[in-house]
Amino acid sequence: MTARIAASGIEKIVTVVEVALVDGTWTYTDLNFGLADTPTAPKPAEEGTAGAPGPPKKIAPFASPANGLAAVRLKKDSLRVYYVDVYGGIIELAVESGEVFYRNLTTELGASVVGRVSPLVVTEPGGLAIHYVDANDYLCRLWHDGGWNWHWYDEAPTVPPASALTAMVTTDLGRVFVYYLDARNHLVEVNWPRGKRAVVTDLSSGIGLPALSPVGPLTAVGFGTDSRRIYLLDVNDNVVEVAHTVGKPGTLWWDFTNLSVSSGAPVARQGSSLVARLTTRNHTRAYYDDTAGFTAEVENSGKAGWAPTTPGRLANSGAGAPSAADTSALAAVLSADDIRNYVFYLDDGGHLINLEWTGGRWQSRDLSEELGLPTAAHATPMSAVFDGGPRAYYLSSE
């Protein structure tokens, strides 16, 4: 069972690698080969619960390098990592207190297989839900409500192969919001009230968004009763925030801001990755690559407004961090106290770089060189969570 890497001319196995900072030491695990030697495998039925047993497996199915990767923390020492195998099945890796188990959710549920280039997005508060695009370009979800279920959104427009995908949950846990670009390059919101039919809104038409980058990323955060923030690039690669804020009756709830114009945030490299994270005070920090491939940050600090900076250029006492490869994904996570920021990406040599704000300065480290990490797959997706320390995930190709 092998996955072919495009244009490589050879077949390689693709696996999920976890890189973690544990008790002050960086370490890594190839999760596909790190399965527990036990006859019981947990189901993530409730947040943080173990679940029913499954058969023992020594190697998890190898991954498709063209599809997405998503991780979520349920509670301390309880993580879930999702990826797509070479047959289009969604594989769940359950990491419980350091032990790894797997299951094929698509096979178990008889769900639609994943399309050739589908992203994966996970929402967790209120119950796990995995969002993806199937082989017929329909938006689909797997979700857990006392047991796993699946649904394809026949009420929503199909998802073009080039579109990014993102999702969020606000503190109104009864609803999940999914975002993508349709065939007209319009931003679509799919609002799924749990147990009810989804509501689909064309936000580009509804609030008059500028023309959007057809190859740009999407990222989103939700907070409060119904506050939503979506970040994307316009056709000029400016960073744009689309905001839904609950206000007084009669006020406009939707608005958008060109952050490159209003705050002086650097213009993004065409097709740059973009990832947003929320602080404990509900302030957004968004990360992307500038035109030279250096990591840029734009932060909403509340009353002071948006403040841009360029961590990639400022790192290492001004010497700068390695620039990102033009095909690199980005993953980012904040420490529980919001003091430390961790950004992960691949440089031009395919090395995994950690760019960290220590509370006083930016510094970078080449984790591939330090740890001898497995070679990253070309254009690998990435994901990251914080569980006592940062944990980053990517697909390796060996």
Residue 367, pLDDT score:
98
pLDDT at 5 over 60: no
Are the CB atoms for 175 and 192 separated by under 8 Å? yes
By three-state DSSP, how is residue 250 classified? coil
Specify the pTM: 0.91
Give Cα 4 to chain centroid, integer Å. Answer: 24
Q: How confident is the model at residue 55 (pLDDT cuts 50, 70, 90)?
A: low
C-beta atoms surrounding 102 within 10 Å: 22
Residue 49, pLDDT score:
47
C-beta atoms surrounding 62 within 10 Å: 20
CA dist 255 and 241 (Å) reads 8
Are the CB atoms for 68 and 54 separated by under 8 Å? no
For 44-152, where are the E strands, in sequence order?
69-75, 78-84, 90-96, 99-104, 121-123, 129-133, 139-144, 148-152
β-pair partners for 242: 230, 256
CATH 2.120.10.70 fits 3-325, yes or no: yes
β-pair partners for 297: 287, 309
Q: How confident is the model at residue 43 (pLDDT cuts 50, 70, 90)?
A: low
Q: Which residue's entry shows tokens 């929503």?
A: 156
- Least-confidence region, from 36-45, 185-194, 219-228, 269-278: 36-45
pLDDT tens digits, 368-398: 999 999 999 999 999 999 999 999 999 999 8
Instruction: Parse the chain into domains and list their residue ranges.
Output: 3-325
DSSP H or E run through 207: helix 203-207
β-pair partners for 331: 344
CA dist 189 and 170 (Å) reads 14
Report residue 293 as tokens.
Answer: 């491939």
Residue 3, pLDDT score:
41
Q: For residue 163, what are the CA distances in angstroms to 184, 218, 265?
A: 11, 9, 24
More confident call, 321 vs 9: 321
